Structure 1
Amino acid sequence: MTILDRYILKRYLLTFIVMLVLFIPIGIMAHLAEQIGKIQDNEAPLNEVLAYLGHFSIYIGNFLFPIFLFLSVIFFTSKLASNTEIVAMLSSGISFNRFLRPYMIGASIIAVFMLLMGMFVVPTASAGFNEFKFKYLKKGKEEQKTTNIYNQLNETDFIYVSSFDPRRKVGSNFTFERFKEGNILDFKISAPSIRWIEKDSTYRLTSYRKRKVLGDTAIIETKRRLDTLFAFKIDDLTPVSYIAETKNLIELNEFIDDQRRKGASNINSYILVKYKRWALPISVFILTIIAVGVASIKRRGGMGLNLAFGIVVAFVFIFFDRIFSTLAEQAGLEPMTAVIVPNLFFGILAFYLLQKAKR
């Protein structure tokens, strides 16, 4: 590694670290100021509040890592350009691609760091962040709305609930079906309401009705109320909406396979979380190239113009990411497509700006 590589790489990493040190505490203070009333009203213990702020720092920092990196590269590259250092480097005979090499080394270091964080550290922080949020900040509110839940428990058993309230643990229009060999219905249990009774670890069915099939005849059994057991847990039936974010890579793969086997209706949300963990480090390279392409040219507007452009690009990047994520979660768009399209669009923009900077 030459002096030039060490010089640029040092500026790359130090500026990024300074950006994190400056802005993450600001984000924490702004978030705390917004939520302090709810924290006091719900009497959250100090140790849990401090743990929550630590989890929040990792959770939000991981999400904004590429944006912080993008703005930091624009900042220090603009300073290089305004001091005519880039002109001196290129005038010495090195190519623009050679000048770009330490940036790619820095991006590789950050990408590996983000990948490891996203796979193994951020899930733990996400669990702590969301648990505190629903325990104190959204106390008494419904964690999620679930409708048309259909799960395959194993090769023979299937369950369906038209709607479910996770807070009250009550489901509507419950159906349990068991099939025999040859895909023949053995029996079917239905009830307008199913409730999880935690103290007894049982399920309570109201207006219980069981239809047992025996050849060409059927035996009907009905009860006004029945407390019974089933071979599934209430959390397995309706996992909280953020459950995929709290699992590391190995656990997430197993969870997705299990939910796919059960025929979970929101499987795209879980797959999207998995693909985003791989796509986020790739965005580091794309945003680094865009930042270099924009900031390496000395402009009359100086650093302010470059930073303004960077902020606009950052907002557009987040906008694209959220739009395609929503399409994957609610409109049936393939999660792989939702992850690839934003990076592909900004990858083309990066290539264009890089070629323009070379000229």
Structure 2
Amino acid sequence: MKILDWYILKRYIGTFVTMLLLFIPIGITVNLAEKIDKILANEVPFLEVALYYLNFTVYFANLLFPLFLFLSVIWFTSKLANNTEVIAFLSSGVSFWRFLRPYMIGATVVCLGAFILGTYLAPKANKGYNEFIFEYLKSQKKKDRSQQTKDVYRQIADNDYIYVSSFSTKTKTGRDFTWEHFEGNEMTYKISASNIKFNAEDTTYTLRNFKKRIIGVDGDILESRAKVDTTFAFDIDDLTPVEYIAETLNTPELRKFIAKEELRGSSYINRYKVTLQKRLSLPVAAYILTIIAVAVSAMKRRGGMGANLAFGILLAFVFIFFDKIFGTLAEQSDFPPLVAVWLPNVLFAILAIYLLRNAKR
């Protein structure tokens, strides 16, 4: 039976790699056609463009690998079915479960690779990909919109909270700044300023119309100055991260970042959690889609490979539709990210079981 395993496994991996090599250049061509005007207008150096498309290749492969895997399994299994090879395998006494085993081995190999890619390699590629877009292809207005710039409220330590009513990512300046320090449930001092500016050259902050109030048992101590230069134990960019920041962190870093942002009360917290859950759910989705692909294409149909591919593409787009709808719902509302990300997998797992039982008959 090892011959059967190797026969199917080689086609599983080979067809998947071929599908990637076919579609990635198409993706690069479409992306370049869309962005070539802005690239030329901004006179982007050739090396920057080359690095961007290297990162885009990793980003594209990581984003759509379940779809490519699904279509590749349907493609080569349909060929096996049309050549009556599946019938020959099963007629020789091989059970359908035994026939499915090399597919599961192939899915394990691909999913391990995808897990490593999504956990460590894709975040680095995503960083370069997003930074290129942020630097060369976005207007300043869109850059500001990609960060929280209104009513920024953060917990920066166990007992310290800061707030600015508005923040400019271009000038690194905030308005109506306050810093409140608590001991237990009681505030012990408060710093306020009409304006705070981060000075990147020496990592200091300039506060204008500075006021400090120390709250004491016998009375408060008030201090005020027109201007104060000082240092704080936070970076203004860390307090207002760009919305794509989660995509650029590897999984251990992302877990720590989410824990820190939850304390700070970030409005993007659900978006970060969706990114984390998708990294875990995509490899599982590959298993589910592999089972569905085998169940759909192992039967010899009147329409041949074309019918199997049409049905497979329809299922793939339904899966992507559910994934996008529930992911967006979680990012824009209080819908639990865990449920939103894993629900399409659960629904398609039920479908996989149903199709597999029919295929066995």
Q: Same fold (TM over 0.5)?
A: yes
For the residue of structure 2 that corresponds to 1:60, the secondary structure is: helix
Stretch deviating more after TM superposition (241-250 or 23-32): 241-250
Deviation at 1:16, TM superposition (A): 0.5
Instruction: Decide whether aligned partners of structure 1 residues 302 and 232 sit closer, same or farther in structure 2, where only a CA change above 3 A counts.
Output: same
Stretch deviating more after TM superposition (103-112 or 80-89): 80-89
Deviation at 1:75, TM superposition (A): 0.8
Summarize the alignment of residues 280-359 of structure 1 with structure 2, pairs less than 5 Å apart: 280-359=282-361
Q: How many residues align?
A: 358
Instruction: Decide whether aligned partners of structure 1 residues 55 and 82 sit closer, same or farther in structure 2, where only a CA change above 3 A counts.
Output: same
Deviation at 1:216, TM superposition (A): 5.6
Identity rate, percent: 55
Deviation at 1:211, TM superposition (A): 3.0
Instruction: Decide whether aligned partners of structure 1 residues 175 and 139 sit closer, same or farther in structure 2, where only a CA change above 3 A counts.
Output: same
Summarize the alignment of residues 238-249 of structure 1 with structure 2, pairs less than 5 Å apart: 238-249=240-251
Q: Pick from 157, 160, 164: which aligns with 2:163? A: 160
Instruction: Decide whether aligned partners of structure 1 residues 164 and 142 sit closer, same or farther in structure 2, where only a CA change above 3 A counts.
Output: farther
Amino acid at match of 2:168: D
Q: TM-score, normalising length from structure 2?
A: 0.93
| Distance (whole Å) between structure 2 residues aligned to residue 62 and residue 127 of structure 1 | 14
Could you tell me which runs of 5 or more consecutive residues in structure 1 were left unpaired when the two chains were aligned: none
Which residue of the partner structure matches residue 6 of structure 1? 6
| Distance (whole Å) between structure 1 residues aligned to residue 125 and residue 2 of structure 2 | 38
Q: CA RMSD for the aligned pairs? A: 1.9
Deviation at 1:33, TM superposition (A): 1.4
Which residue of the partner structure matches residue 135 of structure 2? 135
Which residue of the partner structure matches residue 277 of structure 1? 279
2:243 touches 2:268 (CA, 8 Å); kept in 1?
no
Deviation at 1:268, TM superposition (A): 2.4
For the residue of structure 2 that corresponds to 1:217, the secondary structure is: coil
For the residue of structure 2 that corresponds to 1:43, the secondary structure is: coil
Stretch deviating more after TM superposition (203-212 or 88-97): 203-212
| Distance (whole Å) between structure 2 residues aligned to residue 82 and residue 155 of structure 1 | 65
| Distance (whole Å) between structure 1 residues aligned to residue 213 and residue 330 of structure 2 | 38
Deviation at 1:342, TM superposition (A): 1.1
| Distance (whole Å) between structure 2 residues aligned to residue 284 and residue 230 of structure 1 | 46
| Distance (whole Å) between structure 2 residues aligned to residue 185 and residue 215 of structure 1 | 12
Instruction: Decide whether aligned partners of structure 1 residues 173 and 353 sit closer, same or farther in structure 2, where only a CA change above 3 A counts.
Output: farther
| Distance (whole Å) between structure 1 residues aligned to residue 256 and residue 3 of structure 2 | 47
Deviation at 1:140, TM superposition (A): 3.0
| Distance (whole Å) between structure 2 residues aligned to residue 241 and residue 216 of structure 1 | 46
| Distance (whole Å) between structure 2 residues aligned to residue 247 and residue 153 of structure 1 | 20
Does residue 251 in structure 1 map to residue 253 in structure 2?
A: yes
Could you tell me which runs of 5 or more consecutive residues in structure 2 were left unpaired when the two chains were aligned: none
For the residue of structure 2 that corresponds to 1:78, the secondary structure is: helix
| Distance (whole Å) between structure 2 residues aligned to residue 3 and residue 36 of structure 1 | 49
1:9 touches 1:102 (CA, 8 Å); kept in 2?
yes
| Distance (whole Å) between structure 2 residues aligned to residue 71 and residue 172 of structure 1 | 53
Deviation at 1:259, TM superposition (A): 2.4
Deviation at 1:219, TM superposition (A): 4.1
For the residue of structure 1 that corresponds to 2:292, the secondary structure is: helix
Deviation at 1:59, TM superposition (A): 0.6
Which whole-Å deviations, capped at 9, do the CAs of 1:273-330 have from their partners, x for residues lacking one?
2221111110110000111111112222221122122222222211211222222222
Summarize the alignment of residues 90-105 of structure 1 with structure 2, pairs less than 5 Å apart: 90-105=90-105
Summarize the alignment of residues 219-230 of structure 1 with structure 2, pairs less than 5 Å apart: 219-223=221-225, 225-230=227-232
| Distance (whole Å) between structure 1 residues aligned to residue 178 and residue 279 of structure 2 | 36
Deviation at 1:77, TM superposition (A): 1.0
2:147 touches 2:241 (CA, 8 Å); kept in 1?
no
Does residue 204 in structure 1 map to residue 221 in structure 2?
A: no
| Distance (whole Å) between structure 2 residues aligned to residue 189 and residue 226 of structure 1 | 11
Which residue of the partner structure matches residue 18 of structure 2? 18
1:150 touches 1:265 (CA, 8 Å); kept in 2?
no
Which residue of the partner structure matches residue 51 of structure 1? 51
| Distance (whole Å) between structure 2 residues aligned to residue 249 and residue 357 of structure 1 | 38
Which whole-Å deviations, capped at 9, do the CAs of 1:126-165 have from their partners, x for residues lacking one?
1111111111111534331414432222122111234433
1:204 touches 1:225 (CA, 8 Å); kept in 2?
yes
2:296 touches 2:308 (CA, 8 Å); kept in 1?
yes
Stretch deviating more after TM superposition (88-97 or 216-225): 216-225
Which whole-Å deviations, capped at 9, do the CAs of 1:224-247 have from their partners, x for residues lacking one?
554433221112111121112111
| Distance (whole Å) between structure 2 residues aligned to residue 168 and residue 321 of structure 1 | 37
Which residue of the partner structure matches residue 153 of structure 2? 150
Amino acid at match of 2:245: I
Amino acid at match of 2:359: A
For the residue of structure 2 that corresponds to 1:204, the secondary structure is: strand
Does residue 169 in structure 1 map to residue 172 in structure 2?
A: yes
For the residue of structure 2 that corresponds to 1:171, the secondary structure is: strand
Stretch deviating more after TM superposition (295-304 or 5-14): 295-304
1:120 touches 1:248 (CA, 8 Å); kept in 2?
yes
| Distance (whole Å) between structure 2 residues aligned to residue 331 and residue 112 of structure 1 | 32
Deviation at 1:91, TM superposition (A): 1.3
Which residue of the partner structure matches residue 217 of structure 2? 215
